Amino acid sequence: MGQSLTRVPGNAVRLTVDSPVTALRGVGGQLAARLARLEIRTVGDLLFHLPLRYQDRTRVLPMGALRPGMEALVCGQVQLTQVKYGRRRMLLSRLNDGTGTLTLRFFHFGAAQQQALEKGVWLQCFGEIRKGPATLEMVHPEYRRLAGGVPEPATTLTPVYPATEGVGQHTLRRLVTQALASLLPEPADEHGRGGIAELVPESLLARWSLPSLREALDWIHRPPADTDLRGLEAGTHPMRRRLAWEELLAHHLSLRRLRHQRRCHRAPVLEGDGALVAAFLRALPFEPTGAQRRVLAEIRRDLARPVPMQRLVQGDVGSGKTLVAAGAVLAAVEAGWQAAVMAPTELLAEQHYHNFRSWLAPLGVQVAWLSGRSRGQAREEALQAIAAGRTAVAVGTHALFQDAVTFAALGLVVVDEQHRFGVHQRLALREKGRQGDRRPHQLIMTATPIPRTLMMSAYADLDCSVIDELPPGRQTVDTVIVSGRRRAEVLARVRHVCRAGRQAYWVCPLIEESEQLQCQAATETAAMLAEALPELRVGLVHGRLAPAEKEAVMGDFKSGGIHLLVATTVIEVGVDVPNASLMIIENAERLGLAQLHQLRGRVGRGSEKSVCVLMYHAPLSARGRERLAALRDCNDGFEIARRDLALRGPGEVLGTRQAGLAQLRVADLLRDQDLLPQVNEAARILLQEYPERVPSLIRRWLGDGAKYAGV
Ligand code: ADP
Ligand code: MG
């Protein structure tokens, strides 16, 4: 490690971005260990540890202008310092600057401090202003004695960094300042080591009027006093955007590289005579829609090529994605290969298992079931059949990819409703199914439409198909918004619908953080409903039921034995009971629009007019009302996703586990989406004219996250 230090004339130690933090003055083993908790191991890490916000200590504010809540730098003379004995012993010091009075309050203090604050001393203080009993106050401010009474404001804004125990702001500021001051200038030294290399070519910086990286980092760590602070904190300042630009570029390049590398990988050619797929389509009780046919054809074209398919199928709830998946699975089987179908929840996996078995068994195709909870002999048999290739299709949860499971000849992996999967999980899954140098094809199905801008960035490694047509005869679902105070009316509606021979869902979304409490809430709701509606049979499903129990309840609901099904959001995806025509969603204001739309998609699957009741916990904020109204007035999942994205941002819409997004440190896909076309173009130029810079750019921003890039 020590060799990345470079001695320059004058014997001062100069740093490179690769120097360990211990190369900085004052950083020993203990501090280095604490810094590592912030993912700071090298000088470069430190420079990319960016401020969360800033404090303005560049201007001394007159005390008369202070307001509670603001952070301020003030300068005044001590008029009185005394120890007070209330419930706690404390030190109070009153300052005056000629425009007003301010009290400093300390709960921890020593005799020396008390002496330092003696009457007549001039102090400069920084802290948050609070309203005290008599005057405005600062509690435990940072302060300094001023010899001549002349304030010494800072010349730059003061950064506030993400910190951790034992590494405070003071330390971070000191280290960053030191690092910036002693970093080697560009270009790199004779060993190829240097300061922060500018990886974006001059011509591109000029074309989009971008500052250099060094300039941007200097600004961000030490913005000049007159900087537009609001813009800097909101991420719209040009210096901040410069970093976001480069970060998006790095992500984009890494996804493009993945896509490119995929073309160099081999996959089995899944091309049969078409007989199985044709027989399957013929046996369906309905005609596939044009969109289903088109997407299936796109998939089959991919499967017939010797490179691994990586295709995302987007389709609104109820657009019939399962059928398309089944068609793809049969294309694999027909070619003599196996397929795995993976669902995110046990419930959905079970549902798929039943669907696939009922479709595939008549065609003589074996389907196995494998979940995290399958045990004993059934599990052993399933595992053996999969390993021996006797079973062509395996359906299950992520348990399908545990170590114990080996496939004889896995040709296709279908991942359903798993938009929360990041690029790394997708790749890991593909590697798991690898046999020799061949990787299985991958099909990803999602009902959460992904807007184009996101598709270009977070999903740039995928090809995309859209099922943009619903099966004919679908009823749009009427959506109504009611207060929880009108529960009695809602109950009457449930009774009415169920008496007419229809069925209903009652959804209790996550309110409690813990699954256990959530299930408890659903259990209580079910008991309440059973009591209020004694003539109806009320069922209950939640995540904690044993699979057999869950299956029994769902089976009962499907066959009409249960009128009203109380459920947690486990039914969000996949459940298909066409006779259900009413859905009540409690605390609807707490859910995202896309999720509500998903839930709503459970009704409106039959010929009957269906209704979704969004019940909110009063009072509802104006914004909350606006959101629910947006859902009521719109039935198009794509449009809803766009609005959801605008209201909540991509992190929440796509889930925090969306690895490609979670890694963004500076950029924000929503805020910075106007940069994406530039980034796209810049990526093209870099790959063509400066390919040697691409790996460094990716490593700088994705670090270890790019470890799959070589697979
Ligand atoms: P999703 O896209 O939400 O996963 P599903 O695959 O569960 O949708 O399909 C929803 C329902 O529509 C199922 O009952 C399915 O049998 C039915 N379905 C699928 N395709 C068609 C079609 N072309 N015509 C009529 N019904 C269809
Ligand atoms: Mg589905």
- For residue 687, CA distances in Å to 243, 298, 432, 656, 676 come to 20, 28, 30, 30, 16
CATH number of 5-53+160-227: 1.10.150.20
317 alpha carbon to ligand 1 midpoint, in Å?
Answer: 9
Nearest CA, atom 5, ligand 1: 320
Smallest-distance ligand from the CA of 347: 2
Mean pLDDT of all residues in 338-355: 85
Atom index in ligand 1 nearest the CA of residue 289 equals: 23
Question: What count of other Cβ atoms lies within 10 Å of the Cβ of residue 643?
Answer: 16
Which residues lie across from 329 on neighbouring strands? none
> Which residue among 281, 284, 286 has the greatest number of ligand 1 atoms within 8 angstroms of its CB, and so is best to mutate?
286
Q: What is the mean pLDDT of the chain?
A: 85
Which residues lie across from 342 on neighbouring strands? 396, 415
> Which residue among 319, 356, 445 has the greatest number of ligand 1 atoms within 8 angstroms of its CB, and so is best to mutate?
319
445 alpha carbon to ligand 2 midpoint, in Å?
Answer: 8
Q: Cβ distance 392 to 365 under 8 Å?
A: yes
pLDDT for residue 1:
36
Residues lying with their CB under 5 A of ligand 2, a single-atom ion: 321, 574
pLDDT class of 226 with cuts at 50, 70, 90: confident
Per the model's pLDDT, the better-predicted residue between 111 and 318 turns out to be 111
Question: What count of other Cβ atoms lies within 10 Å of the Cβ of residue 446?
Answer: 21
Please give the structure tokens belonging to residue 414.
Answer: 């279908």
Of 114, 116, 133, 74, residue with least CA distance to 98 = 74
- Phi/psi for 582 (5° steps) reads -140, 135
pLDDT for residue 518:
67
Per the model's pLDDT, the better-predicted residue between 67 and 194 turns out to be 67
User: Which residues, in sequence order, are CB contacts of 11 under 8 Å at separation 6+?
Assistant: none
Percentages (nearest 5) of helix, strand, coil residues in the chain: 45, 20, 35
CA dihedral 447, 451, 455, 458 (to 10 degrees): -90
pLDDT for residue 187:
53
Nearest CA, atom 14, ligand 1: 576
CA atoms of 137 and 130, how far apart (whole Å): 5
> In the chain, which residues fall in CATH 2.40.50.140?
59-153
Nearest CA, atom 17, ligand 1: 320
pLDDT tens readout for residues 432-445: 788 888 999 999 99
pLDDT tens readout for residues 58-81: 999 999 999 999 999 999 999 999
pLDDT for residue 565:
95
Smallest-distance ligand from the CA of 472: 1
330 alpha carbon to ligand 2 midpoint, in Å?
Answer: 17
Q: Cβ distance 608 to 583 under 8 Å?
A: no
Per the model's pLDDT, the better-predicted residue between 522 and 324 turns out to be 324
Q: Cβ distance 93 to 80 under 8 Å?
A: yes
Does the N-terminal peptide bond of residue 578 adopt cis geometry, omega within 30 degrees of 0? no
Share of the chain above pLDDT 90, in %: 51
Taking every pair of Cα atoms in the chain, the longest distance, rounded to a whole number of angstroms, is 97
Atom index in ligand 1 nearest the CA of residue 473 equals: 25
CA end-to-end distance (rounded Å), the chain: 28
In words, the CATH class of domain 59-153 is: mainly beta
pLDDT tens readout for residues 494-540: 999 999 999 999 998 765 556 667 677 888 999 999 999 999 999 99
Q: DSSP of 26-94, one letter per residue?
A: T--HHHHHHHHTTT--BHHHHHTS--SEEE--SSBPPGGG--TT-EEEEEEEEEEEEEEESSSEEEEEE
Mean pLDDT of all residues in 557-578: 82
> In the chain, which residues fall in CATH 3.40.50.300?
275-467, 477-634
At which residue do the structure tokens 């070589």 appear?
Answer: 710
Statement: residue 344 has pLDDT above 90: no
Statement: residue 449 has pLDDT above 80: no
Smallest-distance ligand from the CA of 574: 2
In sequence order, what E strands does 112-209 have?
122-128, 130-131, 136-139, 142-146, 158-160
pLDDT for residue 32:
95
Statement: residue 12 has pLDDT above 70: no
pLDDT class of 710 with cuts at 50, 70, 90: very low
> In the chain, which residues fall in CATH 1.10.150.20?
5-53+160-227
Lowest pLDDT segment from 81-90, 241-250, 646-655: 646-655
Nearest-10 crossing angle of helices 238-264, 676-689: 60
Lowest pLDDT segment from 128-132, 259-263, 298-302, 632-636: 259-263
pLDDT tens readout for residues 266-322: 999 999 999 999 999 999 999 999 999 999 999 999 999 999 998 989 888 788 999
For the domain with range 477-634, which CATH number is right: 3.30.70.940, 3.40.50.300, 3.20.20.10, 3.40.1050.10? 3.40.50.300
pLDDT for residue 544:
79
pLDDT class of 422 with cuts at 50, 70, 90: low
416 alpha carbon to ligand 2 midpoint, in Å?
Answer: 7
Please give the structure tokens belonging to residue 513.
Answer: 């953080």
Mean pLDDT of all residues in 563-569: 89
Per the model's pLDDT, the better-predicted residue between 259 and 512 turns out to be 259
**What is the distance, to the nearest Å, from the Cα of residue 538 to the centroid of all Cα atoms in its chain?**
36
pLDDT for residue 648:
59
537 alpha carbon to ligand 2 midpoint, in Å?
Answer: 27
Q: Which residues line ligand 1 (CB under 6 A)?
A: 286-289, 292, 315, 317-323, 447, 471, 576, 605
What's the CA angle centered on 344, arms 340 and 347, to 5 degrees? Answer: 95
Q: Cβ distance 322 to 573 under 8 Å?
A: no
Per the model's pLDDT, the better-predicted residue between 418 and 480 turns out to be 480
pLDDT for residue 428:
72
Which residues lie across from 94 on neighbouring strands? 80, 103
Mapped onto helix, strand or coil, the DSSP state of residue 414 is strand
Mean pLDDT of all residues in 260-269: 87
pLDDT class of 7 with cuts at 50, 70, 90: very low
pLDDT tens readout for residues 663-701: 677 887 767 878 888 998 999 999 999 999 999 898 888
Homologous superfamily of domain range 275-467? P-loop containing nucleotide triphosphate hydrolases (3.40.50.300)
Nearest CA, atom 15, ligand 1: 320
Atom index in ligand 1 nearest the CA of residue 321 equals: 2
pLDDT tens readout for residues 113-162: 899 999 999 999 999 999 998 899 999 999 999 988 889 999 999 999 99
pLDDT class of 106 with cuts at 50, 70, 90: very high
Atom index in ligand 1 nearest the CA of residue 601 equals: 3
Per the model's pLDDT, the better-predicted residue between 388 and 423 turns out to be 388
Nearest-10 crossing angle of helices 694-702, 238-264: 110
pLDDT for residue 185:
65
At which residue do the structure tokens 């001590």 appear?
Answer: 78
369 alpha carbon to ligand 1 midpoint, in Å?
Answer: 22
- For residue 247, CA distances in Å to 131, 414, 530 come to 42, 31, 55
CB burial class (10 A; 0-12, 13-18, 19+) of residue 306?
Answer: exposed
What's the CA angle centered on 80, arms 76 and 83, to 5 degrees? Answer: 125
> Which residue among 312, 323, 416, 571 has the greatest number of ligand 1 atoms within 8 angstroms of its CB, and so is best to mutate?
323
Please give the structure tokens belonging to residue 489.
Answer: 């009316």
Question: What count of other Cβ atoms lies within 10 Å of the Cβ of residue 310?
Answer: 24
